[in-house]
Structure 1
Amino acid sequence: MTTPAATLATATHPVATAVRTAARRTLPRRADYADLPRTWRADLVAGATVAVVALPLALGFGVTSGVGAAAGLVTAIVAGLVAAVFGGSNLQVSGPTGAMTVVLVPIVARYGPESVATVAVMAGGLVVVGGLLGLGRLVAYIPWPVVEGFTFGIGVTIALQQVPLALDTAKADGENAGLVALRTLALVDWSAAWRPLALVALVVVLMTMLPRWRRGIPASLVAVVVATVAAEAAHLDTTRIGTLPSTLPTPTLPLLTPEATSALVSAAVAVAALAALESLLSARVADGMADDLPRTEPNRELVGQGLANVASGLFGGIPATGAIARTAVNVRSGARTRAAAALHAVVLAVVVLAAAPLVSRIPLSALAGVLLVTAVRMVDVPTARAILRSGRSGALVLLLTFATTIVFDLVVAVELGVAAAAVLALRAMARASGLHREPIDDPELDAGTEHALLHEHIAVYRIDGALFFADVRRFLDELMQVTDVRVVVLRLSGVRVLDASGANALAQVVADLQRRGVVVLLKGLRPEHRRVVEAVGVLDALQHEKHLFDTLPDAIEHARSHVRRSVVVGG
């Protein structure tokens, strides 16, 4: 006899198995570091190199977000380490990014800097759930023009966000980066603005020229150091980063009351969507740069990025994502395992412990110069030109996503861009589809014979491509113009895509024709389409269950019998 406990155990066994399987796929494993004994030197160099590049960016993005340089540095350390250990990519480097800054600025303006840690924890939880639900592969369905359009929009928005820092002026009120930049220009004391602008120009020149002289030089760090030394030597009165903590803050659970979470839920969803999207796109770029290494596990990557955001929020940081620029530096510097990304976080932690007083003297305008160059490099003019020349559909999606990113936000831009791309793709597919009337080939028949006369009352139509609702109505309009036809044979073997809407419309076509006294025969229905056709009632709409054929000769022979009977009855 089976006991209730045994029945419960049996019922929950599949659930427990699924949980264990998901855990095995998303948790760290020994194989992650199998190559480390022979690659540790390359990983050590790559990790140190990325840390040098990441330091000014982490500080700059922290300041630009409105939370502060310390929060950016904490995010690079904590989120960078957690994502490296738990993520699904061997090469991904995570931390604060410009794209996330674009989303955070209006959140800070609306809810205050103290809300960001709560948003990070909430968004991180959502990303973890997305990874466990297997949503990581959805990024493959985002079209190239959408990715490039929102990347270009991010670049322009980041540049606009630097206007207050570059001019050493208090930021005007508002959430939209363009409007804030315009309002800030009206507040500038131009008699004093030359000092920060001179530092910005110095950083831009150094970051532009140094790589041309020697490619391996960490141009951003050198430029910030030179600008800081120049500001100190000339005693320039410009705003500095200010005091940084000499240790990492103690982890604290942010405010998660029902009132706070309900107010921030939309912000958390937006941050989670961006964190997932940018991280997976960055990992895809890394995979393309290192074809000989294992590919990213997208669902594990989401789990790792979600945990990284939760950890960042607990330590008072800001939301993080995979960083495309730092990931690219990591790959080019020779990284082979995730130890390089983890080491980059360790090096940044050492900076916090040993060099916080020096870092605190960096002028904010110098960081603005770094981010301005970074923003300009995000706008890939040859790529934009290629998409614009590829056709009107690609150009429209690119420009729409670009404009929406600047006017609204990144999540809306991606949603609108994907929707526009989908509509245009369906439109192109519909245009590639067609309805063609075919002659009834029978070389043995002479004009005037019985079969030839019967064929005059039979119409054979071939449907090609995708069968959508709009196309079926167009086909029906064409069929309605046919006169003196008593049987229509619809050849469906050329239909590649048939959805529920198309099948439902096909049933309407059959019913409409048969109400006019036209018998409909279907030929070549694909096995994969039979289920949807049966579900929506196409076969039920036929006059007889035997009006479905596998070969055209059988269908024509059956059509002749119908015409023959109708002629006899009518005669």
Structure 2
Amino acid sequence: MTGSIRSLLPSRRDYAHVGRTWRADLLAGLTVGIVALPLALGFGVSSGLSAEAGLITAVVAGVLAAVFGGSHVQVSGPTGAMVVVLVPIVATHGPGAVAVVALLAGVLVLAAGALRLGRAVSYIPWPVIEGFTLGIAVIIFSQQIPALVSAHSAPADEHSANAIIAAVQSFARFDPGYAAWALGSVAVVALCMWGAPRVHRAIPGSLIGIVVVAVLTLAVGAPLARIGALPAALPAPALPLVDLPTLAALAAPAATVAALAAIESLLSARVAASLADTGAYDPDRELVGQGLASIGSSLFGGMPATGAIARTAVGVRSGGRSRLAALTHALVLLLIVLVVSGPVGQIPLAALAGVLMVTAVRMVHPDTVRAILRSTRADAVAFVATAVITVSFDLIVAVLIGVAFAAFFALRGMSQASKVRREDLRGEPRPGDERIAILRFDGPLSFTSADRVFAEVDAIRGVSVVIMRMSQLELVDATGAHMLGEITQALERRGVTVLIKGVQPRHEELFRSVGVLDALRHHNHLFADLPSAITHARSHVQRETTTA
């Protein structure tokens, strides 16, 4: 028990290689911090809270997740997926509810890690993940449109409706003059984000784009809405006010946020582990770390946090190989809060919208979409259904329905893979061989195919002995094994002798417990090889012929 708890806590092994990698880690952390700044600001504003909330989350959650999480390179903070969930929460319960939701969700994620539920994400199929990502990208892009059409229509102003509907409704307040300035800002940011990596991939195009737009806005006096004043220090920690009515009202939203935080963080950690040789990640400890990160963020008035795959990938590709990189990223953002909060407050909201729009576009990979749509019908349906439901209804519901679609088609495929084939007897034919049926069972035998297999076997007529070959049976569940017992009994009641050949050792205990072997007329009717079973079957047919 003690060892199990200790495995979920930080240890010296987390920093075993820092002596060799610290220089690269510091540089990677600085790079990620610069990249994360506009995203933290943008996600804070887009969620309906403030840029300050985004920065607080990136700093506090970034430190806690780096220290306590299960990945050596994961970078955590506010993410676009979380914003999508928070917008309706803010609309329904107000901005003050987010800290409570973050606290409750953090406790749930922490409990999931303590209960060792981290491997559950491995059951989410790839097409569902990509459909989920596509849906989030569409929502993030749509959420920025209200900030571009009018100075009085920031992204949070339309958060009571679906993101796409809100984007359409925002055109009721369309201001051509303001929209021209805003779209120009988006174009500048997009151009910088597109062109900077082509000069050198280490150049932070998003930050350059924001600086250029901010400078031009100040220089020409453009009428663009700004972030506004930011505090020059982190606020003092305080426990959010939680009472029973609040708990009852926010329990369901907190569960949704917790599920999203767990799924996104584990997916990000899994991808991060494949980007470089940084060691395996511990999914259970990752949940513990992300739970603590959201709890810590809530105490400072921040948002729920998750692992951020885009920032994590930047860190790894910039040379980050240990937790020091993620810690440095958070400290860089803290330094920005302490030193340059004034200039940061002058950043136009349209510039942040441009960053998030480009980020949303980059989340979608056309080659991946084409590959899934051309793969199998089941995967294509799961992908499309997940994307559509994500945009139309709810992220977690979309994942659940996507998994349900995938599971349905997987089970149907499993059912179709179950086969019963009648084989001819080997060797020289003998009189009476036509009275013997050899049935070979292939593939899995489960609840999905049990009725069909029963009907196929029960339809056999004109035989005295049935040999059921089990050596090629891959998977058997309790329903499949129960069906074998029932078909054995049904054949025996018709006077047909059933012989079973080749029960695999891994299936033997199940066959005994559900009564398959007990259904045989005699314990000698269980055989290890086919020739012995055929010899026994011929003796039965011969006795019947002699008796007749």
TM range (shorter): over 0.9
- The one-letter code sitting in structure 2 at the alignment partner of 1:235 is G
Tell me if structure 1 keeps the 8 A contact 2:465–2:497.
yes
- Give the 3-state SS of the residue equivalent to 2:231 in structure 1: coil
CA distance in 2, matches of 1:83, 1:370: 25
- The one-letter code sitting in structure 2 at the alignment partner of 1:121 is L
Tell me if structure 2 keeps the 8 A contact 1:105–1:175.
no
Shifted more, 57-66 versus 401-410: the winner is: 401-410
Tell me if structure 2 keeps the 8 A contact 1:457–1:563.
yes
1:300 aligns with one of 277, 282, 285: 285
CA distance in 2, matches of 1:492, 1:186: 69
- Give the 3-state SS of the residue equivalent to 1:521 in structure 2: strand
- The one-letter code sitting in structure 2 at the alignment partner of 1:236 is A
CA distance in 2, matches of 1:371, 1:279: 20
Q: Following TM superposition, by how much is the alpha carbon of 1:551 offset from its aligned partner in structure 2, in angstroms?
A: 1.6
Shifted more, 35-44 versus 47-56: the winner is: 35-44
CA distance in 1, matches of 2:343, 2:514: 72
CA distance in 1, matches of 2:494, 2:214: 85
2:39 alignment partner in structure 1: 57
1:540 alignment partner in structure 2: 518
2:390 alignment partner in structure 1: 405
2:121 alignment partner in structure 1: 139
Classify 1:58/1:470 alpha carbon distance in 2 versus 1 (closer, same or farther; 3 Å). closer
- The one-letter code sitting in structure 2 at the alignment partner of 1:156 is V
Matches within 5 A, 1:341-360: 341-360=326-345
- Per-residue CA deviation, residues 26-52 of structure 1 (Å, 9 max, x unaligned), is 111112112222222111111111000
1:177 alignment partner in structure 2: 163
Q: Following TM superposition, by how much is the alpha carbon of 1:529 offset from its aligned partner in structure 2, in angstroms?
A: 1.4
- Give the 3-state SS of the residue equivalent to 2:442 in structure 1: strand
Tell me if structure 2 keeps the 8 A contact 1:166–1:369.
no
Classify 1:353/1:532 alpha carbon distance in 2 versus 1 (closer, same or farther; 3 Å). same
CA distance in 1, matches of 2:82, 2:259: 10
Shifted more, 176-185 versus 334-343: the winner is: 176-185
2:206 aligns with one of 220, 238, 248: 220
Tell me if structure 2 keeps the 8 A contact 1:72–1:317.
yes
1:496 aligns with one of 469, 474, 496: 474
Tell me if structure 2 keeps the 8 A contact 1:472–1:509.
no
Tell me if structure 2 keeps the 8 A contact 1:523–1:550.
yes
CA distance in 2, matches of 1:260, 1:110: 13
Whether 2:24 is the aligned partner of 1:42: answer: yes
2:462 alignment partner in structure 1: 484
- Give the 3-state SS of the residue equivalent to 2:336 in structure 1: helix
Shifted more, 544-553 versus 408-417: the winner is: 544-553
- The one-letter code sitting in structure 1 at the alignment partner of 2:25 is D
2:438 alignment partner in structure 1: 460
- Give the 3-state SS of the residue equivalent to 1:26 in structure 2: coil
Matches within 5 A, 1:154-553: 154-167=136-149, 168-170=151-153, 171-172=157-158, 174-290=160-276, 292-443=277-428, 445=429, 452-553=430-531
When normalised by structure 2's length, the TM-score is: 0.96
Tell me if structure 1 keeps the 8 A contact 2:433–2:538.
yes
CA distance in 2, matches of 1:166, 1:138: 40
Shifted more, 67-76 versus 420-429: the winner is: 420-429
Shifted more, 280-289 versus 53-62: the winner is: 280-289
CA distance in 2, matches of 1:265, 1:173: 20
Runs of 4+ in 1 over 6 A off after TM superposition: none
CA distance in 2, matches of 1:300, 1:456: 63
Tell me if structure 1 keeps the 8 A contact 2:33–2:332.
yes
Tell me if structure 1 keeps the 8 A contact 2:106–2:258.
yes
Q: Following TM superposition, by how much is the alpha carbon of 1:193 offset from its aligned partner in structure 2, in angstroms?
A: 2.1
Uncovered stretches (5+) of structure 1, i.e. residues with no partner: 1-17, 446-451
1:14 alignment partner in structure 2: none
Tell me if structure 1 keeps the 8 A contact 2:74–2:307.
yes
Shifted more, 198-207 versus 49-58: the winner is: 198-207
CA distance in 1, matches of 2:89, 2:303: 11
1:150 aligns with one of 132, 143, 148: 132
- The one-letter code sitting in structure 2 at the alignment partner of 1:67 is L
- Per-residue CA deviation, residues 479-519 of structure 1 (Å, 9 max, x unaligned), is 33322111111111111110112112222222222232222
Tell me if structure 2 keeps the 8 A contact 1:169–1:188.
no
CA distance in 2, matches of 1:470, 1:84: 44
Tell me if structure 2 keeps the 8 A contact 1:22–1:132.
no
- Per-residue CA deviation, residues 468-489 of structure 1 (Å, 9 max, x unaligned), is 2342322232233322111111
Q: Following TM superposition, by how much is the alpha carbon of 1:256 offset from its aligned partner in structure 2, in angstroms?
A: 2.3
Uncovered stretches (5+) of structure 2, i.e. residues with no partner: none
Shifted more, 367-376 versus 413-422: the winner is: 413-422
- The one-letter code sitting in structure 1 at the alignment partner of 2:407 is A
CA distance in 2, matches of 1:469, 1:513: 20
Tell me if structure 2 keeps the 8 A contact 1:461–1:489.
yes
- Give the 3-state SS of the residue equivalent to 1:240 in structure 2: coil
Tell me if structure 1 keeps the 8 A contact 2:88–2:159.
no
- Per-residue CA deviation, residues 179-233 of structure 1 (Å, 9 max, x unaligned), is 2112212232334322222212221122122222332210000101111111111
- Give the 3-state SS of the residue equivalent to 2:203 in structure 1: coil
CA distance in 1, matches of 2:342, 2:260: 34
CA distance in 1, matches of 2:195, 2:37: 20
- Give the 3-state SS of the residue equivalent to 1:411 in structure 2: helix
Shifted more, 134-143 versus 295-304: the winner is: 134-143
Shifted more, 209-218 versus 66-75: the winner is: 209-218
Whether 2:22 is the aligned partner of 1:22: answer: no
Classify 1:75/1:470 alpha carbon distance in 2 versus 1 (closer, same or farther; 3 Å). closer
2:112 alignment partner in structure 1: 130
RMSD between superposed Cα atoms in Å: 1.6
Shifted more, 505-514 versus 242-251: the winner is: 505-514
Percent identity of paired positions between Structure 1 and Structure 2: 53
Matches within 5 A, 1:3-14: none
Shifted more, 76-85 versus 383-392: the winner is: 383-392
Shifted more, 327-336 versus 480-489: the winner is: 480-489
CA distance in 2, matches of 1:54, 1:105: 21
